[in-house]
Structure 1
Amino acid sequence: MRNTIAVMNTKGGVGKSTIVAALAETLSSEHGKNVLVIDSDAQASVSSMLMTVTDLFGLQRDGLTIVDYLVATVLRENQIEWADFVVRNVSDVDDARSVYLIPSDMQLTLFEREVSKESLHASLRNTIADVLRKVRPVFDIILIDCPPGLSVLTESWLREADFHLSPTKADYVSVCGLEVFRRFKSLNPEMGFAENLGVLVNMRDLASPVDTEYVNWLRSNPENRCFESSIPRVNALQDAARFQPQQRSYGAKYPGQVGQAIKTLSREVLVRLEAANRPLAAPPPPPPSPEPVRSEATSEAEAHPAG
């Protein structure tokens, strides 16, 4: 099943990591899905949203992050188990017990520098492809939190993942970020690229005519495949990004309007994944060839052949 989704926009500040965490917790809590979050952003934002800073620091200190896995497999060519880097029981939502995480570390930028210096791009991409191949059958959905910009690691995720989902704000610069991303996607098509799952408008001011104008502009382009749901700009979503040591209910973390918007988004994501994985209907068999029309002269000749 195709179920790996790279969450990406070349423009930063669009609330990408917040959406990844909220979507993972909603898919787990509301739909019972086993969700793996791969934090591929050196800022480790989504990692800090899903666990305490103390626990995250301990994993970074002990060499149990995506950076350590990639250093071992790409730079040192060691064979190690990806599952050893997966953290279970993350999230502070009491009924989101099926969210898993491969955390990140700020050392990720140094790793990418070494990949470029040693010309190990092919090895990196092969490693990413291998990881995704192994996690697909284990989890229902895999969300990859990519940093803004187009690094060698992000390109590997985008070329090997099944889909990409692009959060954006309803402003000119963020929309331009989508256009840069679209142009990048058109380069080297022979190398493959993730399929567009859709564009999500995040942090929308529902009372702003300007925001509405940008949303209509985005939706006017069918290539964007905009999600019907827009995530409103509310303080509750910013508060939800702060991990709490005491567990809370889904409704307490995502109350009211923002909770409804995230739930609608999660349903849309599932519907689109199901449609994308639905096998194409087999074409109907061709009609039987008609019998040749025989004239009386032909029949007579066949009945009394010459000779």
Structure 2
Amino acid sequence: MKGKVIAVANMKGGVGKTATVIGLAEALAAQGAETLVVDLDPQANASICIAGDGLLRDIIERGLTIDGFLEDRFKRLQRDAALGGRIRTNISNVTHLGKQLPLSLLASSSELRLAERDLIFTLTKMKMDLDHIVESLYAIIKDELKRTKKSYDYILLDCAPGISVMTEVSIRLANLVIVPTIPDFLSTYGLNSFCANLWSGPIADRSNLKKPKRAPRVLITRRRPTREHEHTSERLRAEAAKDDAKFSVFRTEIFERTAIAEALGKIHTHPTFSQKWKDGTDILLADLVREVKETLHGS
């Protein structure tokens, strides 16, 4: 089935969110899936990892970004503004089995935060409250993705840390929400609250929109061979096994490896997939892809 939407989100930054997006997107593409990454983070880390700084600069200058779409649609009131024309296809510098990865990008820029603020300001002037703003943006992005889905097997949404309007919309639109989490005290402190808010908490209950399709799934990332990481991972899995669990947990764990940091920095070279994701990281990504497909399509 075409166009499965995967949102990668967490309240906390620095937990391996962008690494998850890039690794999963390229692993899916390496298996032949037409894959689109939509960068919804003003830090634009996913964009620069895929496009490189030179190409990304050109994309931003031409307004071919998600924030460019929001400005055209809500600030300039261009009703014919569309996401499709802003997607950069054939953008990957990575090959697999002699072919370029079938990876596309809808980039972000540092202006996204201002664009989202302008969006809220504009719609507030139209007497909309925050819930109606979310519903309005949800309807527009859903319509845009409906057309985009026809061209892609998977669409990955790289959400900004926290719960912004765009993040809430993304979570509600997604077929699967992945929550990358470092298994330590600080990184997991607000995990239950984050997983409950949009699925069963006040934010979910007050909206007229449907709740997310399934409970979020935690991905343990940057795992180290320490007692704290071991105990926290066990605790997360025990919580996920409860009847009233707010989340499930992937069997696959992404261990902290220098190879992952090096992979994200390979933006000016042309590696193969296995050269980029070395030291067994490609095997971990294949395991993650298998679980993602099991979740979305059944075993």
Task: Provide TM-score, normalisation by structure 1.
Answer: 0.84
Per the alignment, residue 105 of structure 2 pairs with 101
In the alignment, the residues of structure 1 paired with residue 172 and residue 108 of structure 2 have an alpha-carbon distance, to the nearest angstrom, of 20
Please say if 1:230 is aligned against 2:253: yes
**What is the aligned-residue RMSD (CA, Å)?**
1.7
1:246, CA displacement in angstroms? 2.5
Deviating above 4 A after TM superposition, structure 1's stretches of 4 or more consecutive aligned residues are: none
Q: Would you tell me which structure has more strand in proportion to its own residues?
A: 2
Q: What is the aligned partner in structure 2 of residue 116 from structure 1?
A: 120
Aligned to 1:218: 236
- 1:71-220 residue pairs with structure 2 within 5 A? 71-75=71-75, 76-95=77-96, 96-118=100-122, 119=124, 121=133, 122-185=135-198, 186=200, 187=202, 188-189=204-205, 190-194=208-212, 195-196=214-215, 198-205=217-224, 207-220=225-238
CA distance in 1, matches of 2:143, 2:43: 24
Shift of 1:178: 1.7
Find the aligned partners of 1:93 and 1:264 in 2 and give their Cα distance. 20
CA distance in 2, matches of 1:176, 1:38: 28
CA distance in 2, matches of 1:62, 1:77: 16
The residue aligned with 2:52 is 52
Correspondence list, 1:292-303, <5 A: none
1:24 aligned partner: 25
Query: Unpaired segments of 5 or more residues in structure 2?
Result: none
Shift of 1:137: 2.5
Equivalent positions of 1:38-49 (< 5 A) are 38-49=38-49
SS state of the match for residue 106, structure 1? Answer: coil
2:92/2:102 contact within 8 Å kept: no
Question: Does 1:268 find its partner at 2:291?
Answer: yes
Distance 1:63 1:257 in 2: 38
User: CA shift at 1:197, angstroms?
Assistant: 5.0
Name the amino acid aligned to 2:16.
G
1:248 pairs with 2:271: yes
AA aligned to 1:217 is: R
Match for residue 10 of structure 1? 11
Mark the runs of 5 or more structure 1 residues left unpaired by the alignment. Answer: 279-307
